[in-house]
Amino acid sequence: MALVRPFRALRPKPDAARAVSAVPYDVVSTNEARSLAAGNPLSFLHVSRAEINLPPNTDPYADVVYETASANLDRLIRDAPFVVEETPSLYLYRLRTADHEQTGLAGCYSLDEYDRSEIRKHERTRPDKENDRTRHLLALRAQTGVVFLTFRAMAEIAVIMQQVRCNDPLFDVETADGVCHTIWRLSPDDQIAAVAAFDHVGVLYVADGHHRIASAARARDQLVSFGSDNLDTESQFVLGVAFPDSEMRIQAYNRVLTDLAGQTPEQFLEAVRTRFDVRGNANPTPFRGHVSMYLKGSWYDVELLSPAAQDKGCCEVDHLDVAVLQEQLLQPMLKVRDIRTDSRVIFVGGVRGTDELEKLVNTGKAAVAFSLAPVTTEELFAVSDAGDIMPPKSTWFEPKLRDGLLIHQV
């Protein structure tokens, strides 16, 4: 079963929702956040990236940053203004672009289920980022970032969502990037039906927000150890939106190398041809089992070798194109020993398109670029179910949820 619980949301009044809503804290740098929030005192970036209100050289992990975030949230609650729902509620959150639409159930999901791997992950988290969001959560006593979850679609849940979407929304916000964020509050009867339907979901999967949910679990543990919490309080749950897999859109996370490990482009291309089946004049977007390589102004299709043919036992993750590329090409041919730490590697999220890959190579900022086919939801489920961890930067989820529209106080 998947436990979902209504909560008393802290939220802006509808006429302030567009000004308040902000991109997730971890998709922008400090300078980008400062630019986005400029001239908008209601932007939630003043809370999620509070260092933008401090001198430029401020350590983003200094105590003053978290103190400023707490003060800025208090100011937003007053100035937006924000309200707290009178009764606990569940919500639908729809993301819509010109060519895509997905709707999920927003509520509080059980951290006990996360501990038991009934909410499953596919990424490894970094201690420094966990520390940051844990301190942020404890300073605000609020979960301000939303965990992006997914589950295997069920007809019963689809019917409930369709019924709710016939009602007037609480928010209907179009952001500067052209994404419409629409939120409905469920009626008491619809909430009962949704909670009962999620009893049959089985397991949930973290799509995006691994650091948010890990930090929520750490904050819960700290509150319990401080004696300020018990098993029936809000910190036992994490704010999330769960989308059916049938509506999810995953984009590729591509790789760019700044050098060719001492080889000329001609030498490197010849080495690749020796090991793989390579065709010129390729499409920049490859099929599963292939990678498109951009080198010296041209695209090449490189057919990856099947991991099943290799003389070793394979895990689920070993079959991902992103893992095969690392094992068969980046490591042996470009000397990328650890893709997490190699400073020559640039990761380019699929939303930026293959034009960005061409630009980096054509301007001399990189030597070669690799465009991958996106990971599928079934691959994500298989890796998560096996308890495996994907290589870093394997998935890019787009469109993204906004911060500041729904907040869970703990």
What is the average per-residue pLDDT within 164-168? 97
User: pLDDT (tens digit, 9 = 90+) per residue, 91-134?
Assistant: 999 999 999 999 999 999 999 999 999 999 999 998 999 999 99
Burial pattern 370-399, b for ≥16 Cβ within 10 A else e, equals bbbbbbebebbbbbbeeeebbbbbbbbbbb
Percent of the chain with pLDDT over 90: 92
State the pLDDT at residue 309: 47
Spell out a b/e string for 47-65, using b for 16 or more CB atoms within 10 Å of the CB, else e.
Answer: bbbbbbbeeeebeeeeeeb
Model pLDDT for residues 313-334, shown as the tens digit of each residue: 568 899 999 999 999 999 999 9
Structure tokens given for 336: 């990328």
pLDDT of residue 313: 53
HSE toward the beta carbon, residue 353, CA cutoff 13 A:
2
Mean pLDDT, range 16-28, rounded to an integer = 95
pLDDT of residue 312: 54
**Which pLDDT tens digit goes with each residue over 239-288?**
999 999 999 999 999 999 999 999 999 999 999 999 999 999 999 999 99
